[in-house]
Structure formats: C-alpha cells, structure tokens
Structure 1
Amino acid sequence: MKLFLFFASFLLCSTVYAQEVPARWDELTATDWQAALDKSSQTCILPFGILEKHGPHSPIGTDLIHVREWAARATKQEYAVVFPDYFYGQINEARQQPGTFALPAQLIYNLLEATCDEIARNGFKKIVILNGHGGNPEFIRFFMQSFLNKRHNYAIYFYDPENDPTFQAEYRKMHKSDMRGDEHAGESETSVLMYYRPDLMRMDRATSQSGADQKRLSLPGVYTPIWWYASFPNHYAGEGAKATADFGKFITDHEIASFIKVLKEIKADTTTIKLQDEFYDRVDNLGTSKQ
C-alpha cells in the first residue's frame, strides 16, 4: 500500500510539474528546458510586433501587445514556448511619427535570421511566426523564401489565417464604421486593445486627429513607397472612437481559437522538415548521378 501511494504521489507531482512549465522563454529555468522542448514538440512561437504610432489614442506597442496576449492565451490551451516580444520589423513608413522604431532593411533581415538560428540552436525544430503588424507580411514572406538559400535543420511557419465565412458574417454585423477604411488603429484594432489592455487606451483622444484617407496621390496601376503617407499622414486609418471591448473580445476569441487549431497541426507535422532535407539534398547533388 505504501509503495502504491509513493508511486501515485510521484505521478501526481510529475503531472503537476509538467503543467507548470512556463510557456514564456524568459520565464523558464535552465532545468525546465528539456521539459519545455518535450511538451512543445520542439515548437517555439515568435510573436512579431512593431513599435509605431497607433492613432492619437492607442499605445505605440499596440501590435506587440496584441501578439503577446494572443500567444499567451493560446499557449494556455496548447503548449508551445513563446520567445520574448520581438519588434524588429519593417516600419519605415512611420518614421515621421514619434515612438517609431525603424531599423535598416538588411539589419532586420540579419537579426531575424540570427534569432531563428539561435532559437533552433536551443533545440527547437519548429518556429512559428505570429505576426501582429500589417507592414510585416511582405518582409516575412521574402525572408522565408530566402530561407531556402542554405540548409537549415529547422522549419519556419508563418501563420496566415484562412478566411472564415461564418466569422466574417458576424464581424460585418458587429462592425460600426466603414470597413473599407478600417486599416490602422481603427475600430477593429482599437477594440482588440480595449479588450486586452483598457488601462492603456486614451479613447477621449480618438477623434482628435483624422483617420480618413487623404487621397493625395493617384497613380492607378503603380506602386510607390510613399503611398501610405500620401493617404494617411497621421498614421491613423479608420475610426477608433467606434471601438468596443465586446467587439475586441469577439475578434480575439476567434483568432486565438483559429491559431490553436493550426498550432496543433504544426506540432504534429513531420513532413515539412523531411521535404526541406530532400530539397537541400537535391540542391547539393545537382549535376550528379544521385539527382
């Protein structure tokens, strides 16, 4: 009986310990590390935000706070290790605004590559980029295509959620402002921050600047890097004053659930790295009989 109680107690303690392994990289101890690798299936989330003006009412770290909370809440339900907040992305279009942290293009590329390499060196085979900034996707996709330029022993996944018609239908019903202009610090993004961090919001200032498209440049069929400034010199696009915390909860509940579903699939994935290795082998053997 005593032996049975000993083993029962040991198993219970082991289970509790496994459940208490922190998700955040910076909150783990070195002695937690192997347990975190095992529990996460060697999966690490890189929450990718930015530091930039978000209208006159929302914090400069809005995108960073968004992905931080998104990752934190998702990993409470589906464990993965979360890398410390990462804000070294593309934001040159907001350099005229206070608080913007914009680094040169080559530097942000090298920094992201070095960061992923270091995450992998610490035992992670899968890195999931969770992005919260609308100016990052083009850069991230270019980075990921360039990833194939040399052999890596890990895989990168960029979470790019699919359209959900049911969610979109309800979203349109709840949305109060013109959806065509709700792009940056507008109703939806402001609602998310009102739900996550109402203490940081300055909603009395939301109408102190215009978030309307100024339409100062018209060149159909042409892309120019000054397009955003031409349209939104205040770095504000939308009507943040129409935001609500309830709408924010609706948005975040859906995005957390959607990400958890994909995170489970990534943790179970055994194909991506195999295909990468096959690709690299064919590159290395190009022109030989092994090809």
Structure 2
Amino acid sequence: MKVFFISLGLFFSYSFVFAQQKISTREMDRINWMEFADFVPGKINTVLLPTGTLEPHGVINNGADNTAPFAMAIAIADELNAMVAPTLNYGITGSMAAYPGAFQISEEAYAPFIRDILRGLAKNKFKNIIILNGHGGGQTAVLQKVAAEVANELGIRTLVINWWSFASDITLEVFKEDGGHAGLNETAYIQAVDPTLVHKERYNSDQATAYPKANTWSAVPFPSSIGLYQEGQGYPNFNQAQADEYFKKVNTKVAGFIKEIIRKWDLAGL
C-alpha cells in the first residue's frame, strides 16, 4: 500500500511538472506576462507575425488578408514551437483602396510602424521573426526591406512569406487553376477557416478581371474586386472537402519551409 501511494505521488508530481511545461496559449495577446517569461526565449524563440489589410475580396470578407495568415499562424504554431503575435490588420491597400470598407495606410506610416513592431519582438527576445503576409502589392516590398534592415541591425533572423504565391503549386494541384486576388485559392482557404465568411451566391463573373500583362495597362481603382492570374478562372466551384484539403496542404508546405529555413540558419551558426 505504501508503494502504491509513493507511486501515485510521483505520478501527480510528474503530471504537475508536465502541466507547468505546457504553454497555455500560443497567442501573445492572450498569455500572461509571467508565463511569457517562463517560455521566451528559453523554450520558445520563434514568433509568427500575421500581416494583412482591409480591402474587397469578391465573395469573401474584406479582412481575408488578415483572416488567412492568422488562421495559418494558429494552425502551425505548435509544429514550429512558435508564439503568434497580434495581426497587423491595416496595410498598404493600393489599387483597391476606393472600394467600400477598404483602408489605405501610406508607406510613410506603415514602414516605421512595422519596423517598431519587429524591434519590439526582438526586444522580447525572439530570435526568429516570421512574417506571414496576407497582402501583396507594395506591402510585400516594404515588409521585405524593413525586415532585412532590422535583421542586420539587431542580429536577429527574419523571413517574409506571401503564402498564396509560395503555395501556387498547391493551388494547381488541388484546383487545376492558378487563382488570383480573391480567386478560388483565397476563397477556398477562407472557407476552410470559416464558411460563414464565404457568399458564393453573390459571385458574378463580371466581378473578375484578369491582371494585365506587363507594360500593357494599369487602372486605379482596379476595375474588379477579383483579380485573376488567368482569364476565365476563379469561379468558386469547389466543395468543403477541397477547401479543407487546400488549407491543410498549404499549411503543411509553409510550416515545412519555415522549419527548413530555421534549420539552415542554425546550421550556419547565424
């Protein structure tokens, strides 16, 4: 009987230690500061920063560029042993800025703001800062430039990923189409995250315009809320199973790439 109680006591002791070692949440705006200090940087030195904007996206939500990278960050954070920083919801919207509900942040305001966010993450002792960017255009160039400058300035490691272009092969594999801005690729990803944000019944092919070939034409505002890489594509004729498959395969590819970049950083002793 004595042996039983000793064993039981050891079991509860080990269980308590294990519980203490398991982080309660990966989200930086939900964690307590004392628990944060327990894990960063001793047990966690990677952070995922979702960035996006508010702009029209055909039959999905105006905040799709925020919804997608945040959902991706949450989905892959455990695998990467990473924290998830709050999403930067406003961005450099560009040619879609005139549409209802859109917001345009100037490069002059955005660049120093993202710079201070990256410096803040570095101050909080993250070694690897991974920007999961949900919005392209001029925002990509600014993120890449600022991230590189902060990495060199502070001796940290930064990576900027545009998920939709990085996973273009997955789009072709699952849908046999190229997708586009608010194309079936973004629409499917959002449907996997939250089907209530997708309104296929409102789809009209007149809402879609193929992007111009280089040096042919340019229009501001862009004439449609859906910009396609190939004329005639984009109709959201996929089902939930395809959307879920796409979501998982995109996340798997992105997570695998991040792990490989970190492995090579470590291998190089950077």
TM-score range, shorter chain: 0.7 to 0.9
1:127 alignment counterpart: 129
Aligned match of 1:212 in 205, 209, 218?
209
Assess if the C-alpha contact under 8 Å between 1:48 and 1:129 holds in 2. Answer: yes
SS of aligned partner of 2:54: coil
In structure 2, distance between residues paired with 1:49 and 1:26: 18
2:153 alignment counterpart: 151
Q: Deviations over 1:158-193 (max 9, x none)?
A: 23679789846633xx33xxx35x311111111111
Aligned match of 2:226 in 214, 231, 236?
236
Q: Is 1:184 aligned to 2:174, yes or no?
A: no
Q: Is 1:37 aligned to 2:40, yes or no?
A: yes
Residue 118 of structure 1: how far off its partner (Å)? 0.7
Residue 84 of structure 1: how far off its partner (Å)? 0.7
Q: Is 1:137 aligned to 2:132, yes or no?
A: no
Q: Is 1:227 aligned to 2:218, yes or no?
A: yes
In structure 2, distance between residues paired with 1:88 and 1:53: 13
Assess if the C-alpha contact under 8 Å between 1:210 and 1:236 holds in 2. Answer: yes
Tell me which amino acid in the other structure corresponds to 2:257.
V
Assess if the C-alpha contact under 8 Å between 1:21 and 1:36 holds in 2. Answer: no
Residue 38 of structure 1: how far off its partner (Å)? 4.7
Going from structure 1 to structure 2, the CA distance change for 1:46 and 1:195 (only over 3 Å counts) comes to same
Assess if the C-alpha contact under 8 Å between 2:53 and 2:66 holds in 1. Answer: yes
The 10-residue stretch of structure 1 (205-214 or 7-16) with the greater mean CA deviation from structure 2: 205-214
Q: Deviations over 1:40-61 (max 9, x none)?
A: 5311110112211101x21001
Going from structure 1 to structure 2, the CA distance change for 1:7 and 1:245 (only over 3 Å counts) comes to same
Going from structure 1 to structure 2, the CA distance change for 1:163 and 1:128 (only over 3 Å counts) comes to closer
Going from structure 1 to structure 2, the CA distance change for 1:51 and 1:160 (only over 3 Å counts) comes to closer
Q: Is 1:249 aligned to 2:240, yes or no?
A: no
2:231 alignment counterpart: none
Q: Deviations over 1:54-89 (max 9, x none)?
A: 01x210011111111111111233321000111233
In structure 2, distance between residues paired with 1:85 and 1:3: 48
Assess if the C-alpha contact under 8 Å between 1:58 and 1:190 holds in 2. Answer: yes
TM-score (norm 1): 0.76
Residue 36 of structure 1: how far off its partner (Å)? 3.0
2:108 alignment counterpart: 106
Going from structure 1 to structure 2, the CA distance change for 1:16 and 1:209 (only over 3 Å counts) comes to farther
Assess if the C-alpha contact under 8 Å between 1:53 and 1:60 holds in 2. Answer: yes
% identity of equivalent residues: 19
Aligned match of 1:24 in 24, 27, 32?
27
2:98 alignment counterpart: 96
Assess if the C-alpha contact under 8 Å between 1:186 and 1:243 holds in 2. Answer: no
Structure 1 unpaired stretches of 5+: 221-225, 276-291
TM-score (norm 2): 0.82
Residue 214 of structure 1: how far off its partner (Å)? 8.2
SS of aligned partner of 2:154: coil
Tell me which amino acid in the other structure corresponds to 2:237.
K
Assess if the C-alpha contact under 8 Å between 2:118 and 2:150 holds in 1. Answer: no
In structure 1, distance between residues paired with 2:21 and 2:219: 47
In structure 1, distance between residues paired with 2:29 and 2:205: 39
Q: Deviations over 1:229-262 (max 9, x none)?
A: 47x4122124343343333222211121122223
Going from structure 1 to structure 2, the CA distance change for 1:228 and 1:87 (only over 3 Å counts) comes to farther
Going from structure 1 to structure 2, the CA distance change for 1:125 and 1:4 (only over 3 Å counts) comes to same
SS of aligned partner of 1:59: coil
Assess if the C-alpha contact under 8 Å between 2:148 and 2:158 holds in 1. Answer: no
Residue 115 of structure 1: how far off its partner (Å)? 0.2
Going from structure 1 to structure 2, the CA distance change for 1:18 and 1:259 (only over 3 Å counts) comes to farther
Assess if the C-alpha contact under 8 Å between 2:122 and 2:154 holds in 1. Answer: no
RMSD: 3.0
Q: Is 1:62 aligned to 2:64, yes or no?
A: yes
Structure 2 unpaired stretches of 5+: 229-233
